[in-house]
Amino acid sequence: MAPATNEGFRPDINGLRALSVALVVLFHLGVKGAAGGFVGVDVFFVISGFLMTRIIDEGLDARTFSYAAFVTARATRIGPALAAMLLAWLLFGAFVLPPSELHQLADQAVSAVSFWSNKYFLDRSGYDTDGADGAWFLHTWSLSIEWQFYLLYPLLLKGVSGLRARGDDARAGLGRRVGLGVGLALVGLSLAHSLLQSSARPSAAFFLLPARAWQLAAGGVVHWLAREAAPPRPRSRALASYGGLALVVLSAGWLGLSHVDPVGPGWRSVLPVLGAMSVLWSAHATNVFLSNRVAQSIGRWSYSIYLWHWPLVVASQVTDLSRLHPNPTRALILFGSVFLGWLSFKLVEAPTHRRRAGGGRPSLAWPVGGLVVAGAAALVVSATNGLEHRMPRAANAREVVAARESDYFPDACSNFAKQGRDLRRCPIERDARRRVLVIGDSHAEHLYPWFHAKSAVSVDFFTEAECPPAPHFERMQASLHCLAYTTAAWAAAAEPRYDTIVLSAFWTAIGGNGLSYCHADATGRCTIVHDVEARRALIRQELRTVIRSLLAAGKTVVVLDETPEAPMNVPHRVERERFWFGHVRLTIDKETLRESAWFDELLAELDGTPGFHRVSFRPLLCGERSCQVYDEARARLIYVDESHLDPDWVVRNGGVFAPFVKAPGPAR
């Protein structure tokens, strides 16, 4: 999402950049109707690819292209504003953030200045904008992709430039056609790779250059086509410009209404790319939606707006503003993003532009110097564990790190994102005369420490994180295969060797307004049930049927009701409160349990049925009005994130399952 270049300035491109950054910012703010705004990044990539291809091609044509000068110019565009933003937030963190979080922010800054943040976040949290508390520089992944493209793409085009010759129109024309062919081949190969990855490894398709290069190359294809074809007529220009703009906006709206996950949208990402290509090809300078004064101003500031908006979103989560006052906070972030974007443009970007306009040669001293200073500051902060001396009780930071890295379920047992044929059960071998089966999502997995430590009988865990086992429901995310898992899990529960089935899951995920699921009927047709109450009723019906069938077969069914969910990451919040106030104040309002009241209705209905048992951690966690997240007596966290329990707490308090894992008496 690099800044605009002034070479051959086009107001339509500048306006398209304004639309792109507006889509992204509104998406990150969670504005209703903007859930498809993530396509703004796709549009940015197309614009960047178009402009870079134009610069390289014209330089090669004139025999003036220099790889070093090209890279220097790109660094001059990207580096100063990025360095200023990183340094500002490092300074902010030094005063406001506790050590472990400042340490995390510094590590992210290092990945940003090295233009490796796309791989950094892929290897860690992925792209979770709802739970991105602490992911301060997540948005720099797109800059890393662009920079990686800038380093490789000129070498590719220069490699085919031997077909050019100044003054030889035939060979120059052939060179351009070869360039077009290379661009089309790059689009085809990268797009095919992206579509495959969107299903197999969607996060990699989102974050890594090989699956994103087609969007940048698509912009290059527009440049080559424009050079080869006759200029479009005025009416065609207008039609292509307005039609392309409409395609970008409508595709964003459609993707949002369809609840398409930003990670792994598959072929759907082709639509905004085609729209952006159409606008670029049209070169229609008088599109009223793109050429007006507001769009032109936002377009000029778009790079800096993009740089500043996401840390403001994270800051609002850190301070609870986004939860307590959502709409005023959105307005404040929107205003702050534009204001800081304008300020960054005036104080950082514009001086560089003026120097270039005045004939100054691009130099790496300013951009590289700024990035070196930002990187050095980040390394110092990281080396001192987030300036740990600011917090006398260093154990606080270590406690948070321990919670973050706790391994409450063996990695080898994980079925996350696995296909049906790869699903496996995780055995705890004890007395083989009885065997218990635990099924569910990650809220079943965090029970593993207790069963491993306390069970007298053999237990199999058959779970898949992020897949609440509601029969016949499929999650609308290509990387997950929840329907295959759920079908296999309930089939396993019916096997004669299991006399007891334990069920635990985060039912709010499937019964709420956020994630999208469809319901498969007998024909295999999967229909999205948009109405929340209708979906909840259908889930209860499906679970009622399968649980009653197990009870009728003489099995014991044990269901853990839903664990209270904190409104933010508990370890982060606990450390912040100790840093800010000297003690822990966080609790969970008991009213949040209303989110799972619809599931509790099913449990109440089944209560008293022979063989059915409802168990709960709520009496251990909750008082009359609130639920605890921190054990003051033991000075230890109860939660390792928003809703998963600390393994040590589970081992100490999982006795509610003890009656169901007793060894059978001696044979007579």
Tokens for 478, please give them. 């290509």
**pLDDT score of 164 more than 60:** no
Task: Look at residue 363 in the predicted model and tell me its pLDDT.
Answer: 64
Provide CB contacts within 8 A for 640, sequence distance 6+: 403, 404, 406, 408, 570, 571, 646
612: closest CA among 501, 495, 487? Answer: 501
Task: Look at residue 175 in the predicted model and tell me its pLDDT.
Answer: 60
Round the average pLDDT of the chain to a whole number and report it: 89
Q: What is the dihedral of CA 522, 525, 529, 535, to 10 degrees?
A: 20
Rounded Cα distance between 597 and 160, Å, is 65
366: closest CA among 379, 380, 353? Answer: 353
Q: Are 41 and 1 in contact (CB under 8 A)?
A: yes
Q: Read off the pLDDT of residues 60-75 as tens digits, 9 standing for 90 and up.
A: 888 888 999 999 989 9
99 DSSP assignment: H
Rounded Cα distance between 247 and 271, Å, is 7
Q: Where are the strands (E) in 342-495, listed by range?
A: 426-428, 431-440, 457-463, 473-475
Rounded Cα distance between 595 and 500, Å, is 28
Q: Which residues pair with 526 in a beta bridge?
A: 520
H-type alpha helices, 114-165: 117-122, 141-159
Minimum mean pLDDT range among 5-14, 468-477, 490-499, 566-575: 5-14
Tokens for 405, please give them. 């890295």
User: Residue 420: pLDDT band by 50, 70, 90 thresholds?
Assistant: confident
**pLDDT score of 38 more than 90:** yes
The predicted model scores a pTM of: 0.85
User: Residue 218: pLDDT band by 50, 70, 90 thresholds?
Assistant: very high
Residue 589 host element (H or E): strand 587-589
Residue 51 host element (H or E): helix 39-61
Q: Are 435 and 498 in contact (CB under 8 A)?
A: yes
User: Residue 394: pLDDT band by 50, 70, 90 thresholds?
Assistant: very low
Rounded Cα distance between 136 and 311, Å, is 5
Task: Look at residue 232 in the predicted model and tell me its pLDDT.
Answer: 76
Q: Where are the strands (E) in 34-190, listed by range?
A: none
Rounded Cα distance between 310 and 98, Å, is 20
Report the SS3 class of residue 290: helix
H-type alpha helices, 497-531: 508-511
347 DSSP assignment: I
User: Residue 547: pLDDT band by 50, 70, 90 thresholds?
Assistant: very high
Minimum mean pLDDT range among 67-81, 281-295, 395-409: 395-409
Q: What percent of the chain has pLDDT over 90?
A: 64
**pLDDT score of 395 more than 50:** no
Q: Read off the pLDDT of residues 580-589 as tens digits, 9 standing for 90 and up.
A: 888 889 999 9
Task: Look at residue 668 in the predicted model and tell me its pLDDT.
Answer: 46
Any idea which residue has 């662009």 for tokens? 146
Q: Are 240 and 282 in contact (CB under 8 A)?
A: yes
Residue-wise over 236-245: b if at least 16 C-beta within 10 A, else e?
ebeebbbebb
Q: Are 81 and 3 in contact (CB under 8 A)?
A: yes
Task: Look at residue 166 in the predicted model and tell me its pLDDT.
Answer: 47
User: Residue 572: pLDDT band by 50, 70, 90 thresholds?
Assistant: confident
**pLDDT score of 19 more than 80:** yes
The edge-to-edge listing of strands for the beta sheet with 556-560 is: 426-428, 457-463, 431-440, 500-504, 556-560, 612-615
Amino acid type, 336: G
447 DSSP assignment: T
User: Residue 355: pLDDT band by 50, 70, 90 thresholds?
Assistant: low
Rounded Cα distance between 178 and 180, Å, is 5
Provide CB contacts within 8 A for 132, sequence distance 6+: 125, 138, 313, 314, 317
The neighbour count for residue 169, using CB atoms within 10 Å, is: 8
Tokens for 661, please give them. 């894992």
Provide CB contacts within 8 A for 89, sequence distance 6+: 105, 109, 136, 137, 311
Residue 155 sits at the vertex; the CA angle it makes with 119 and 77, to the nearest 5 degrees, is: 65
Query: What's the whole-number mean pLDDT along residues 47-52?
Result: 96
346 DSSP assignment: I
**pLDDT score of 5 more than 60:** no
Q: Read off the pLDDT of residues 243-280 as tens digits, 9 standing for 90 and up.
A: 999 999 999 999 988 878 888 788 999 999 999 999 99
Task: Look at residue 198 in the predicted model and tell me its pLDDT.
Answer: 84
602: closest CA among 549, 550, 536, 665? Answer: 536
507: closest CA among 498, 497, 517? Answer: 517
Rounded Cα distance between 80 and 373, Å, is 11
Phi, psi of 397, rounded to the nearest 5 degrees:
-65, -40
Task: Look at residue 170 in the predicted model and tell me its pLDDT.
Answer: 52
**pLDDT score of 397 more than 50:** no
Rounded Cα distance between 121 and 206, Å, is 11
Q: Read off the pLDDT of residues 165-211 as tens digits, 9 standing for 90 and up.
A: 544 555 555 666 777 888 899 999 999 999 998 877 888 999 999 99
Minimum mean pLDDT range among 439-443, 620-624, 630-634: 630-634
Minimum mean pLDDT range among 283-297, 304-318, 383-397: 383-397
